[in-house]
């Protein structure tokens, strides 16, 4: 089931009638953890620290935006512009 969105964008509903399962995706946490691990290893740290995570937020954010665009472009061709409008950046 879907319902109309802004300017021709369509939003999918789950069987429970709520927007897609975006908050139920542990792969996002895994992706952030892997990037933080790489940062810790680059600094020869023996564990992931807050500094490790702070160092990779930008890269993680870019990857998340790329994932969201790839996943939802068929529903909303302007999804990249929409996301970048909220983050204050320019779209590709």
For the record, the structure tokens of 60 come out as 């993680």
SS3 19: strand
Instruction: Report whether 36 contacts 52 (CB < 8 A).
Output: yes
Beta bridge partners of 2: 12
Mean pLDDT of the chain: 79
Residues 6+ apart with CB under 8 A from 49: 40
The pLDDT score that the predictor gives to residue 27 is 86
Model pLDDT for residues 36-74, shown as the tens digit of each residue: 999 999 999 999 999 999 999 999 999 988 998 999 999
Whole-model pTM: value is: 0.61
């Amino acid at each position: 089931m879907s319902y109309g969105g802004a300017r021709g964008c369509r939003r999918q509903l789950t069987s429970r009638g709520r927007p897609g399962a975006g908050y139920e995706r542990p792969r996002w946490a895994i992706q952030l953890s892997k990037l933080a691990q790489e940062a810790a290893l680059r600094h020869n740290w023996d564990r992931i620290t807050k500094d490790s995570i702070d160092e990779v937020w930008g890269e993680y954010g870019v990857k998340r935006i790329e994932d969201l665009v790839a996943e939802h472009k068929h529903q909303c061709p302007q999804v990249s512009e929409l996301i970048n409008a909220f983050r204050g950046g320019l779209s590709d």
